[in-house]
Amino acid sequence: MARPRIVITGIGGICALGNDVDAIWSSMKAGRSGIGQLENVDTSALQVKVGAEIKAMPDHGLDRRRLITMDRFSLLAVLAAKQAFAQAGLVIDEGNTRRVGAAVGVGVFGAETADENYDAVLVQKKPRTNIFTVPRIMPGAPAGQVSMELGLRGPVFGVTSACSSSNHAFASALDQLLLGRADVMLAGGTDAPLSFGVLKSWEALRVLSPDVCRPFSADRQGLVIGEGAGMVVLETEDHAKARGATILAELAGVGLSADASDIVAPTVDGPAAAMAACLRDAGLSPEDVDYLNAHGTGTSANDQIETQAIKRVFGDAAGALSISSTKSMHGHALGASGALEMIACVMAIRHSIVPPTIGYREADPACDLDVTPNVAKERPVRAALSNAFAFGGTNAVIALKAV
């Protein structure tokens, strides 16, 4: 018996490229960068002073009593979730509230809250932290805040696996639907890592670019940290059709693997295994895939290794594959990256446009695939893959199909 098809009926997002999906997609198509000088962070003691920052938050309509319990990463998740729900046309009532859930990926924690409380206790010498520090800072907070905002009483949980968190959240939400534990799942990721503590920690790893992110370009210098959130509404095709919902795309499959090798250095085997598993799960051959949103961090080793893994899995079909790293525009938003890249994949399928890898200046013989340099490409996109590979060697790949 064929398993139910899981489809996307709503999508929402916020990042440096825009405060909603239409704005984000417009920027992606045009190859506009959201990377620039940080304005909301004191960079006087930082070496790297750039990031992909949301310069101005939109009106959110939340009252002060809610806001004082929320870190920035929770607020971003709530904003993206409300957009996705609005597009999906879902109404929560007593009849369905326990059949709708949420899985929200987070790569870090409530970094804004951490910085505020270190300053309060260590600099200002206050005797105690903010009373809401624990519920604000915990990685599961965005999932809880989303459930409260939308009235979701089904399976609700946080997912954390560093930069693979969003894709693991999509995989987990898909499983809830296939197991019959929910009829609808909101899934995605959020992170707000543009804080002094997080940026200072990333500086120590020596992988940050001093200016822009140039994935796959021979002169790439590293990644750029960004912030944001993305969420999608997932449900079975039958459930979506029964309520007359517009179906945007199908979440056709997932592939998960672990390197079991090194806490920071990736392998070729792990990412290749995840991509191959994803193709099998989605019932796709390499020739069926038109677009691949690469993990594409802009570091020398990662981009080369990902290229090798793609070649291993796609073989002769790799040459016809359109690839891009949208991190060149929205930065590496850590736990939110996969969710922002989900937006790129869904919109590429719906509009037959592959967003570019911007900042590309010089070909790297070790990254010799079509990375869609600098300018978007028009082509039909029947199926797309999105890669997410994380510290710890945790790999998660998702497949989307046109409907």
CATH number of the domain enclosing 148: 3.40.47.10
Same domain for 224 and 163, yes or no, is yes
Q: Please say which residue of 182, 217, 242 terminates a domain.
A: 242
End-to-end CA distance of the chain: 20
Q: Please say which residue of 216, 242, 268 terminates a domain.
A: 242
In terms of residue numbers, what domain contains 393?
Answer: 253-401
In a domain, 96, yes or no: yes
Out of 295, 330, 345, 367, pick the active-site residue. Answer: 295
Q: Could you tell me if 10 and 86 are in contact, meaning their C-beta atoms sit under 8 angstroms apart?
A: yes
Same domain for 139 and 91, yes or no, is yes
What is the pLDDT at residue 60?
87
What is the pLDDT at residue 2?
84
273-329 confidence digits (pLDDT tens): 999 999 999 999 999 999 999 999 999 999 999 999 999 999 999 999 999 999 999
Same domain for 285 and 211, yes or no, is no
Same domain for 294 and 238, yes or no, is no
Burial string for 155-170 (b: 16+ CB within 10 Å, else e) reads bbbbbbbbbbbbbbbb
CA gap 194, 29 in Å, rounded: 25
Question: Would you say the C-alpha torsion 111, 117, 118, 124 has a positive or negative sign?
Answer: positive
Same domain for 188 and 273, yes or no, is no
256 φ/ψ sector (left φ>0, alpha ψ -120 to 50, else beta) = beta
Same domain for 276 and 168, yes or no, is no
* Kind and range of the H or E run holding 378: strand 377-378
* CA distances, 28 to each of 3, 11, 128 (Å): 34, 16, 44
Into how many domains does the chain fold?
2
The DSSP symbol for 198 reads: H
What is the pLDDT at residue 1?
73
Same domain for 59 and 133, yes or no, is yes
In a domain, 389, yes or no: yes
In a domain, 344, yes or no: yes
* CA distances, 390 to each of 107, 255, 256, 259 (Å): 9, 14, 12, 10
* Kind and range of the H or E run holding 348: helix 337-351
Out of 163, 213, 278, 367, pick the active-site residue. Answer: 163
Same domain for 225 and 145, yes or no, is yes
In a domain, 248, yes or no: no
CA gap 140, 348 in Å, rounded: 31
3-state secondary structure 244-303: CCCCCEEEEEEEEEECCCCCCCCCCHHHHHHHHHHHHHHCCCHHHCCEEECCCCCCHHHH
What is the pLDDT at residue 89?
98
H helices then E strands: how many in the chain? 13, 14
Of 243, 278, 57, nearest to 171 by C-alpha is 278
Same domain for 19 and 62, yes or no, is yes
In a domain, 75, yes or no: yes
Judge whether 239 counts as a catalytic residue. no
In a domain, 247, yes or no: no
Q: Please say which residue of 222, 242, 262 terminates a domain.
A: 242
Judge whether 332 counts as a catalytic residue. yes
Same domain for 28 and 153, yes or no, is yes
In a domain, 1, yes or no: no
Out of 15, 330, 332, 345, pick the active-site residue. Answer: 332
CA gap 266, 175 in Å, rounded: 27
Same domain for 283 and 208, yes or no, is no
In a domain, 112, yes or no: yes
| Strand ranges of the sheet holding 156-159, from the earlier edge strand across to the other edge | 156-159, 100-106, 184-191, 228-236, 6-15, 249-258, 394-401, 383-390, 291-293, 322-324
Same domain for 222 and 110, yes or no, is yes
Number of Cβ atoms within 10 Å of the Cβ of 365? 7
Residues of the chain scoring pLDDT < 70: none
What is the pLDDT at residue 317?
98
Rg (CA), the chain: 20
Q: Could you tell me if 143 and 157 are in contact, meaning their C-beta atoms sit under 8 angstroms apart?
A: yes
